[in-house]
Amino acid sequence: MSNLSPSHRNSVVVGALLRSRFSEYLVESVLGQGTFGTVAKCRRIADRKTVAIKMMKNQNQLAKAEVAVLSKLRCLDSDKCNLVRWHRSFLSNDHICLEFEHLDKSLYDLMVGRNGQPLHIKEIRPIVQQLANALDHLKTAGIIHADLKLENIMLVNHAQEPYRVKVIDFGLASDVSAAKLGSYLQSLPYRSPEIILGLPFTEVIDMWSLGIIAATLYLGFFPFPGSNDYNMMRCIVEAIGQPPNTMLTLGSKTGRYFQRDHDSTNSTWTLKAPEQFWKESGIQSKETRAMKLRSLYDLLHIRAIGGETMADRGAESCDMLDFVDLLIRMLHLEAAKRITPRQVLKHQFTSMCNMGWMYHLSSYVRSSSELLNPTTDSRKAVCGSLQQPSSATTHPIQQNLPSASAERSQYSGKRMQASTAVSTPLAQAQRSNAATSSSYSLKRKLVDSDSRGQRKRVKSDPAPPTTSSSALTLASSSSYSLKRKMGDSDSRGQRKRVKSDPAPPTSSSKALTDEPDKRSVPAESRAQSGRKRKSHDVEYVGHQRGDNRN
């Protein structure tokens, strides 16, 4: 935010009292200063509560417009909607004062405190999710924020609730129905193509700003840091591509940055060279980019994939691909094809719905889930509640995005290259898991085969006695089975002989009554007994046959 003029800067004094008919406020410090006012940290005398008060002088129209927007949003739950809570407005010392809840610090302050060190994508995810939730509710209310940027996104309490954020500053906000063609909205690095070109616009311009915020948090610097609209458009064309001719033809400001080809039967446009723009406008184009992006897929190669295990590296590779895919959809040049807030909430990167199966395999997935859902069961949330907004709304979803297959086919070549470049760890992890599973199955088969072989050997050749209880049990069981088998065979044979060739009554009765209990006879004794009976039967049958022949 730019500084106030000296008169405005001196209008708020630390230690001064602000009076309203509700309470008195003690100014403790100045939190920020801008073109249209000052924000101070104040202590409400009545209950000693800390609040933030935005003071505006000689800005009655802007103040009234902001109050109108805040009044419209007052019916919403500010905590569930990730919007700053507005308490009241009052007049004090010729200042229109707006009282808000006091928050921690902005994302801009966070990045400054990190010396520009970028955030990891698993830290960016909860921020994107909450901002998409806020934009979803603003879309429902029919409101354009029009100034979404790092300075206007506040951390609620970063020490106790990491990366919980709320949207502030509705000074440029308006109803969608009141959007004026040609308005200069949005801070320059966050400005959407439709604003630069002077096209009709809606709340979709806020989605472009969200895409710039996500990319900035990942890079540590603006992806399109133009010092003017021409530089901004030149950076956009080099990284994303030139807007379609139909879009350029409708823009009221297109001629400032593009040259029309009059020799062609079709309306074609070409971006002016920096020298031509300087000659026509007197504005010199300066190169301010820390890195020239030739494609958003360049983001895939900025950082190396880390992770201690193959599963972690595979999960992070997939996550990075999903992050870039979401950025491409947020930064679509055509507003009608740009992703909606509700679709952002359902996207794979934001919802993590495609990584639930890796929860127990990857510490990366577990830590990402905990950042996204610090107060809930992160395991269940990975594929459950994260797919829905934190406060579900009942308004219909505007399907202004082409089908997933059509959208992905547009980037299929680049995505295949990116997937090949970074998905190797995941493939290796999957092969490793498959090998482990195959090895485990082979071990199980070998064990089962050994067990079956052992049981088979025990049945045919009982193991000698051993001191092991398990061996004793197995041998006893096998011996018992063998005895039963032999006993059944002997009984069937004996019944057969009695039926066909009855023995003399005395011998048969004696054999039946004198036969001992088979379970109490050792296996060897029973085998010998069986052989003796078999021999006796053969002799007896031969005797019978001899009698018949005689």
Q: Are residues 218 and 230 in the same domain?
A: no
Instruction: Please report, to the nearest 10 degrees, the dihedral formed by the alpha carbons of residues 278, 279, 283, 288 taken in order.
Output: 10
Q: Residue 105 is encoded by which pair of tokens? A: 């610090």
Task: Flag whether pLDDT at 541 surpasses 70.
Answer: no
CA distance 334 to 336: 5
pLDDT score at 380: 55
Listed in sequence order, the DSSP H helices in 347-460 are 348-351, 363-372, 378-381, 404-410, 412-422, 424-460
Q: Are residues 251 and 218 in the same domain?
A: no
Q: Residue 505 is encoded by which pair of tokens? A: 């009554």
Q: Are residues 267 and 325 in the same domain?
A: no
Whether residue 521 lies inside any domain: the answer is yes
- Residue ending a domain, among 240, 266, 288, is 288
Start-to-end CA distance of the chain, whole Å, equals 132
Q: What is the mean pLDDT of residues 101-112?
A: 97
Whether residue 341 lies inside any domain: the answer is yes
Domain of 60, in residue numbers: 6-101
Q: Are residues 74 and 159 in the same domain?
A: no
pLDDT score at 507: 42
Range with lowest mean pLDDT among 263-267, 397-401, 544-548: 397-401
Pairwise pLDDT comparison (307 vs 193), residue with the higher score: 193
pLDDT score at 262: 74
Task: Flag whether pLDDT at 477 surpasses 50.
Answer: no
Say which DSSP state 181 is in: T
Domain count, the chain: 4
Q: What is the mean pLDDT of residues 492-496?
A: 48
Q: Are residues 139 and 185 in the same domain?
A: yes
Q: Are residues 59 and 82 in the same domain?
A: yes
Per-residue pLDDT of 189-234, as tens digits, reads 999 999 999 999 999 999 999 999 999 999 999 999 988 999 999 9
DSSP 202-220: -THHHHHHHHHHHHHHHHS
pTM for the full predicted model: 0.70
What pLDDT band is residue 424 in, cutting at 50, 70 and 90?
very low
Q: Are residues 88 and 41 in the same domain?
A: yes
pLDDT score at 534: 45
pLDDT score at 330: 99
Task: Flag whether pLDDT at 441 surpasses 70.
Answer: no
What pLDDT band is residue 519 in, cutting at 50, 70 and 90?
very low
What pLDDT band is residue 47 in, cutting at 50, 70 and 90?
very high
CA distance 258 to 196: 12
Identify the three-state secondary structure at position 166: strand
Q: Are residues 33 and 70 in the same domain?
A: yes
Contact assessment for residue 84 and residue 39, using Cβ atoms and an 8 Å cutoff? no
What pLDDT band is residue 170 in, cutting at 50, 70 and 90?
very high
What pLDDT band is residue 93 in, cutting at 50, 70 and 90?
confident
Identify the three-state secondary structure at position 529: helix
What pLDDT band is residue 488 in, cutting at 50, 70 and 90?
low
Whether residue 448 lies inside any domain: the answer is no
Q: Mean pLDDT, the chain, as a whole number?
A: 77
Range with lowest mean pLDDT among 78-87, 176-185, 210-219, 247-256: 176-185
pLDDT score at 249: 94
Residue 54 counted as an annotated binding residue: yes
For 186: left if phi > 0, alpha if psi spans -120 to 50, otherwise beta; the answer is: left
Identify the three-state secondary structure at position 163: strand
Q: Are residues 206 and 263 in the same domain?
A: no
Task: Flag whether pLDDT at 145 surpasses 70.
Answer: yes
Nearest to 458 by CA among 474, 473, 472, 446: 474
pLDDT score at 226: 84
Residue position matching structure tokens 């679509």: 332
pLDDT score at 375: 66
Whether residue 1 lies inside any domain: the answer is no
Whether residue 435 lies inside any domain: the answer is no
CA 414 to chain centre: 22
Task: Flag whether pLDDT at 446 surpasses 90.
Answer: no
- Residue ending a domain, among 248, 264, 288, is 288
CA distance 168 to 186: 14
Q: Which of 79, 94, 104, 147 is catalytic?
A: 147
Kindly report the number of other CB atoms within 10 A of residue 127's CB atom.
23
Per-residue pLDDT of 314-360, as tens digits, reads 999 999 999 999 999 999 999 999 999 999 999 999 999 988 888 99
- Residue ending a domain, among 51, 70, 101, is 101
Identify the three-state secondary structure at position 462: coil
CA 82 to chain centre: 19
pLDDT score at 246: 92
Listed in sequence order, the DSSP H helices in 468-518 are 469-500, 505-514
pLDDT score at 407: 41
Whether residue 449 lies inside any domain: the answer is no
Q: Residue 534 is encoded by which pair of tokens? A: 């078999």
Q: Are residues 217 and 239 in the same domain?
A: no
Identify the three-state secondary structure at position 261: strand
CA distance 98 to 67: 8
Whether residue 380 lies inside any domain: the answer is yes
Q: Are residues 246 and 278 in the same domain?
A: yes
Say which DSSP state 83 is in: B
CA distance 98 to 20: 11
Contact assessment for residue 41 and residue 52, using Cβ atoms and an 8 Å cutoff? yes
% of the chain residues with pLDDT over 70? 65
Q: Are residues 342 and 193 in the same domain?
A: yes
Instruction: Verify whether residue 147 is a known catalytic residue.
Output: yes
Say which DSSP state 101 is in: E
pLDDT score at 500: 46
What pLDDT band is residue 377 in, cutting at 50, 70 and 90?
low
Task: Flag whether pLDDT at 111 surpasses 60.
Answer: yes
DSSP 3-61: PPPHHHHTTS-TT-EEE-SS-EEEEEEEEEEETTEEEEEEEETTTTEEEEEEEESS-HH
Identify the three-state secondary structure at position 177: helix
Domain at 410, CATH number: 1.10.510.10
Whether residue 19 lies inside any domain: the answer is yes
pLDDT score at 421: 41
Contacts of 487 (CB under 8 A, 6+ apart): 518, 526
Task: Flag whether pLDDT at 297 surpasses 90.
Answer: yes
CA distance 124 to 213: 10
CA distance 521 to 385: 70
